[in-house]
Structure 1
Amino acid sequence: MNALQQDIAQLIIDTLNLEDVAVDDIPPDLPLFGEGLGLDSVDALELALALQKRYDIRIASDSKDARQHFTTVATLAAFVQAQQGACAS
């Protein structure tokens, strides 16, 4: 797990108050919803807001494309990197 993935995993834990979960409990390829970490749509909204604030990025809430970025920590990290790269251009 790279530094950004670890930071995002910690952000998930802190934002959603997952008291019994450690960063190491969230591998980069663990599904965040359903049988994986078990997040729901309210969690996704809270997480989206936290990601926008932490990384100064924009996430379109009405976009179906946004859903694919919330699949795993790895996909979130790739999305954050892409957004930060786009903002820097």
Structure 2
Amino acid sequence: MQQLHNELKRLIIDALNLEDIQVEDIDSDAPLFGDGLGLDSIDALELGLAVKKKYHVVIDADDTQTREHFASVANLANYIASQQA
């Protein structure tokens, strides 16, 4: 699971062009939005597309659980793992 966390952190950095941030700078349990990494709704769309492309997992923007899936790297990793199982 740690490998998936690191892959997702790299994906976030690459997909969103976060040049000032390293994989080590992102806490798996820290919020991705708001006070955490500070991502916004546009970032969420881009990240959703990147996840779909890399992991073939579709994240439905209208799903009430989507905000929870995107809450942190750990949550996103758990969701992807559950969809690939």
**For residues 64 and 42 of structure 2, what CA distance do their matches in structure 1 show?**
16
Match of 2:9 in 1: 9
Higher mean C-alpha displacement, 3-12 vs 56-65: 56-65
The one-letter code matched in structure 2 to 1:8 is: L
Q: Tell me, what secondary structure is at the counterpart of 1:64?
A: coil
**For residues 59 and 65 of structure 1, what CA distance do their matches in structure 2 show?**
9
Match of 2:80 in 1: 80
Q: Structure 2 stretches of 5 or more lacking a match?
A: none
Q: Structure 1 stretches of 5 or more lacking a match?
A: none
Match of 1:54 in 2: 54
Task: Indicate the structure (1 or 2) with the bigger Cα radius of gyration.
Answer: 1
What's the TM-score once normalised by structure 2's chain length? 0.96
Query: How many residues end up aligned between the 2 structures?
Result: 85
The one-letter code matched in structure 1 to 2:77 is: A
**For residues 17 and 60 of structure 1, what CA distance do their matches in structure 2 show?**
23
- CA shift at 1:56, angstroms? 0.8
The one-letter code matched in structure 1 to 2:80 is: V
Question: Which residues in structure 2 correspond to 1:4-43 (within 5 Å)?
Answer: 4-43=4-43
**For residues 44 and 58 of structure 2, what CA distance do their matches in structure 1 show?**
14
The one-letter code matched in structure 1 to 2:81 is: Q
The one-letter code matched in structure 2 to 1:47 is: L
Poorly superposed stretches of 4+, deviation over 3 Å: none
Match of 2:71 in 1: 71
| Alignment root-mean-square deviation, CA | 1.0
